[in-house]
Amino acid sequence: MVDINQNHVSTQSAITELTLEFIASVNSALDEGKSEEAINLAKSLHYADLADLLENLGHTRREELVEALRDSFDPNIFAELDETVRERVIIQLGNSRVAEAVAELQVDDAIDVVEELGEDKQLKILASLPKNERALIEEGLSYPEDSAGRLMQRDFIAVSFEWSVGQTIDFMRDSEELPTDFFDIFLMDNEHYPVGTVPLGRIIRSNRNVKLFEIMRKHIKIIPVSMDQEEVAFLFRQRDLMSAPVVDNGVLVGTITVDDIVDVIHEEHEEDIMRLAGVGEEDDLYSAVIDTMKSRFSWLLIHLLSALLAAYVISLFAGTIQELVALAILMPIVATMGGTASIQTLTVAVRAIAMRELTPSNAYRTIGKEITVGVLNGLIFASIIGFIVYAWFDSALLGVVIGLAIIVNLIVAGFVGSSLPIILQSLGFDPAVASSAFLTSITDIIGFYVFLGLAASLLL
Amino acid sequence: MVDINQNHVSTQSAITELTLEFIASVNSALDEGKSEEAINLAKSLHYADLADLLENLGHTRREELVEALRDSFDPNIFAELDETVRERVIIQLGNSRVAEAVAELQVDDAIDVVEELGEDKQLKILASLPKNERALIEEGLSYPEDSAGRLMQRDFIAVSFEWSVGQTIDFMRDSEELPTDFFDIFLMDNEHYPVGTVPLGRIIRSNRNVKLFEIMRKHIKIIPVSMDQEEVAFLFRQRDLMSAPVVDNGVLVGTITVDDIVDVIHEEHEEDIMRLAGVGEEDDLYSAVIDTMKSRFSWLLIHLLSALLAAYVISLFAGTIQELVALAILMPIVATMGGTASIQTLTVAVRAIAMRELTPSNAYRTIGKEITVGVLNGLIFASIIGFIVYAWFDSALLGVVIGLAIIVNLIVAGFVGSSLPIILQSLGFDPAVASSAFLTSITDIIGFYVFLGLAASLLL
């Protein structure tokens, strides 16, 4: 008899079993050299929680735990580990142990693990794999990175659209090599081209003599192996798909299911958010200090160059500043307002492009709207700042000068913040790389130039 | 006989049928007053594409098309429309037409549409609904916003874990009110508490006399109705779930499937990215100019206050700047470097918190790492900038002063950028609101103070 009460307890507490107290217990067991106790704790976890535990432990303790788990290391942990941590664990376990684990994974997970390895390591591990797994993984690797081909599962059920429900059920009962769990049956025409899908529920509820094409979903989306995973994810989200067939040269070669898409969506969002901030994708909590430093360095360097340009613009007005030091005091206000407004506009535009809401057909309308917003907020902030400056420095004209600079800068921010990502996109670049660097340098430079230039001609 | 070739054509071209040319044709049909042609074009689209088309059209043309489609308006379009556009379409179609449409939607989609309406409109539409739908929607609305209760579907199949496969299949064949498509059968104990799930594939492949608990997935995740959707999404992603049972007071009341999670993940990411940039979530391509302006305004105002503070710090050193105007020229460099480094650190930390990688158990380690990165990049950029300044202004001491300021500022950026989101999270706030405003104001103020302060004491 099954113990039906076990779930009552475990689900009352935290979301997962990996609580902070749990991590603390593992840490202290390792501290006290009780590796037996640590192993038992670790083994009580689901593999996804165990992967999270390994990510959470410090470097030395992680190595201790991996070593202790060496012989019983669940291959599924690899698929769940963060790349940086995974690489370290792979080095620690050694090629032959890793090859054993990879052989046990599903093909799409195995590709996920193998594709991140250096070429040398990849070849060694592939060489230690059973012939069959090796061929499937190599085929997967032959498709471009981030393509549907890399993402798809090779285990699926596809039958002729002319089969009956009864025939299909008998086929599934007799077949030995079915996927563990599956939800749709794919129908092919005589040339192995997918023509529809039948959700399993419809099979169960239909009579044995019903033909599959009578109950199939006709409006399926067929995905070419080479399609970029971002486009695949868009299709799944837009059409609320559960699964889709993948074709290579018109022949059904695999399927993608929505649970694979969840990870893709995460990856793509991460890419966007990191690019907007000017951080490399490989820059995460687990990367070594030196790698993080390098990933940040190049972006800081670009910002330095743009700051130098802004400094040069200021230097053109050195004499003006010397005569009226209030200008130096007020410069950061002009820069901050322009920079903030441009990043706001940029973020909305980048997100809209990613969601395919912003397209060439409404680009002009969007840019026009952003300019209008710039004008309106420009007028309001010009009044606020102008009044503050007038009160602070007792000069109405200085208030007018900074007000005009703010208006110009917010209009520029609206225009550049919306048009730059659109232009980048139409040139085939990722609009997120536009990022703050270019934008804030443009608003800084124009802002300083207008502010100091107006001051030089109106105030002195 | 089914036309099995229809798919060959449509899928060769764009990802979806809604191409730029298509939008252009609709636009020109509406321009020329050929509403019949526009309707036919629109009706040829999948409802998700039709929703995208409506979002893409200008305000007037959208109204024309909605008017033309009034009688044949597919209710599913509502669920796919962006909130701002949806609100306008709802106003245009009127309460009774909208109530008709809502009644045809699945309960979770209906809740999605109704929950965004103003209270007044909500009551009117609920009042026009059939009693049954109304009760289900009202029950859904009684759960907190963004909770599992709002997200769940009420149509699902749940049977006793003691049933046999044969019993279950007969039940499904005989039952009239099954969900259209479903993938898992939920098993309950005698108190209606979920104890496992059986994927349909296992039912088809098992003998009729096998008991369901023998083939069930035991390690399921049970979700309380009140769980926040962000936590639900985390569970689905971490455990690669396809579906999960939702319980209210220990009784199975609904299910959540992974395709609902795809939208949640999008929403949560959007929230993060928008908050980091200081833009309201309601600020999208379709919101009116005045709403966009308001959404940006408050953030700009916060930035203005922080810029005023920075300006005040500079004003303390007005005399120093007057004597050495090079300081005014170089100030933007100090500010830019600190601001950029702090945003990089912040973004990595916010993302890691969202992914539950950054927890109290590794917080100190992370902050320590970020400070180290700040020291290292600080040293490198201090040398680069110091040398440039020395060459530009022919003053080694000025180079040393700005170099020191850069080092201090990058260390502050690493410390504040990583610890601020951690502190916010532990206080129960969304770490993403930390955002650039607070951070760049801190690095600006400290940067200016150190730079000008050092200059005042060392150079004059």
The shortest CB-CB distance from A16 to any of B238, B286, B444 is to B238
Residue of chain B whose alpha carbon sits nearest to that of A190: B4
Residue of A422, A448, A421 lying closest to A434 (CA atoms): A421
CA angle B311, B314, B319 (to 5 degrees): 135
Could you tell me if A296 and B344 are in contact, meaning their C-beta atoms sit under 8 angstroms apart? yes
Quick check: A310 and B332 CB within 8 A? yes
Quick check: A297 and B377 CB within 8 A? yes
Region class of A428: left (phi > 0), else alpha (psi between -120 and 50), else beta: left
CB-side exposure of A175: number of CA atoms within 13 Å?
19
Supply the pLDDT for residue A391: 96
CB pairs under 8 A between A and B: 398
* pLDDT per residue as tens digits for the range B253-264: 999 988 889 989
Chain A hits for B237, Cβ within 8 Å: 262-263, 266
Q: Rounded distance, CA A79 to CA A113, Å?
A: 6
Q: Residue B448 class from Cβ within 10 Å (0-12 exposed, 13-18 middle, 19+ buried)?
A: buried
CA angle A165, A166, A170 (to 5 degrees): 120
Mean pLDDT of the residues in chain B: 88
The shortest CB-CB distance from A277 to any of B173, B331, B347 is to B347
- Burial profile A315-345: b = 16 or more Cβ within 10 angstroms, e = fewer: bebeebbbbbbbbbbbbbbbbbbbbbbbbbb
Could you tell me if A218 and A205 are in contact, meaning their C-beta atoms sit under 8 angstroms apart? no
Q: Rounded distance, CA B139 to CA B254, Å?
A: 12
Rounded to two decimals, the pTM is 0.84
Supply the pLDDT for residue B374: 95
Q: Which DSSP string do the residues of B144-177 spell out, in sequence order?
A: PTTBHHHH-BS---EEETT-BHHHHHHHHHH-S-
Quick check: A235 and B16 CB within 8 A? yes
Quick check: A289 and B376 CB within 8 A? yes
Residue of A138, A147, A139, A87 lying closest to A117 (CA atoms): A87
Q: Rounded distance, CA B18 to CA B10, Å?
A: 11
Supply the pLDDT for residue B277: 82
Share of chain B above pLDDT 90, in %: 44
Quick check: A359 and B299 CB within 8 A? no
Q: End-to-end alpha-carbon separation of chain A, Å?
A: 93
Could you tell me if A149 and A215 are in contact, meaning their C-beta atoms sit under 8 angstroms apart? no
DSSP character for A144?
Answer: P
Q: Which residues contact A282 (CB under 8 A, 6 or more apart)?
A: A83, A84, A291, A295
- How long is chain A? 460
Residue of chain A whose alpha carbon sits nearest to that of B274: A347
Block means of pLDDT (10 residues each) for chain A, 460 residues, are: 38 64 88 87 89 88 91 89 89 89 87 86 89 89 92 89 92 79 88 91 88 89 92 90 91 90 88 83 80 87 91 95 95 93 91 85 91 96 97 95 97 94 87 74 93 93
Quick check: A24 and B436 CB within 8 A? no
Supply the pLDDT for residue A435: 66
Q: Rounded distance, CA A30 to CA A159, Å?
A: 53
pLDDT of residue B181 exceeding 90, the answer is no
- How long is chain B? 460
Chain B hits for A265, Cβ within 8 Å: 262, 265-266, 269
The pLDDT confidence band at residue B308, using thresholds 50, 70 and 90, is: very high
Residue of B159, B84, B155, B94 lying closest to B121 (CA atoms): B94
pLDDT of residue B5 exceeding 50, the answer is no
Supply the pLDDT for residue B435: 66
ipTM of the complex: 0.83
Q: Rounded distance, CA B148 to CA B229, Å?
A: 6
Name which residue leads in pLDDT, B377 or A439. Answer: B377
Chain B hits for A183, Cβ within 8 Å: 183, 199-201, 242
Residue of chain A whose alpha carbon sits nearest to that of B410: A300
Q: Rounded distance, CA A332 to CA B314, Å?
A: 9
User: Structure tokens of A225?
Assistant: 């192996």
Structural domains in chain A, CATH included, are 15-146 (1.25.60.10), 158-259 (3.10.580.10), 289-458 (1.10.357.20)
How many CB atoms are located within 10 Å of the residue B31 CB? Answer: 11
Q: Rounded distance, CA B315 to CA B428, Å?
A: 37
Q: Rounded distance, CA B125 to CA B148, Å?
A: 23
Residue of chain B whose alpha carbon sits nearest to that of A365: B58
DSSP character for B214?
Answer: H
Could you tell me if B285 and B292 are in contact, meaning their C-beta atoms sit under 8 angstroms apart? no
Chain A, 352-411: which have a CB under 8 Å from a chain B CB?
352, 356-362, 365-366, 369, 372-373, 376-377, 380-381, 384-385, 388
Chain B hits for A306, Cβ within 8 Å: 336
Chain A hits for B241, Cβ within 8 Å: 259
DSSP character for A81?
Answer: S
Q: Which DSSP string do the residues of A251-273 spell out, in sequence order?
A: EEEEEEEHHHHHHHHHHHHHHHH
The shortest CB-CB distance from B359 to any of A56, A82, A293 is to A56
Give the best residue of A47, A204, A232, A257 to mutate against chain B (max B CB count within 10 A). Answer: A204
Greatest mean pLDDT range, A15-24, A357-366, B153-162, B312-321: B312-321
Chain A, 89-128: which have a CB under 8 Å from a chain B CB?
none
Distance to chain B for A130, nearest Cα, Å: 27
Quick check: A293 and B373 CB within 8 A? yes
Residue of A138, A142, A120 lying closest to A130 (CA atoms): A138
The shortest CB-CB distance from B321 to any of A292, A328, A337 is to A328
Using CA atoms, how far residue B289 sits from A62, A339, A373, B284, B297, in Å, is 53, 20, 6, 10, 12
Residue of chain B whose alpha carbon sits nearest to that of A237: B262
Residue of chain A whose alpha carbon sits nearest to that of B338: A300
The shortest CB-CB distance from B182 to any of A82, A201, A222 is to A201
Give residue B376's identity as a one-letter amino acid code: L
CB of A209 less than 8 A from some CB of B: no
Chain A hits for B362, Cβ within 8 Å: 56, 58, 285
Q: Which residues contact B317 (CB under 8 A, 6 or more apart)?
A: B327, B452, B453, B455, B456
Chain B, 272-331: which have a CB under 8 Å from a chain A CB?
272-274, 276-279, 283-286, 289-290, 292-293, 296-297, 299-300, 303-304, 306-308, 310-311, 314-315, 318, 321-322, 325-331
How many CB atoms are located within 10 Å of the residue B169 CB? Answer: 16
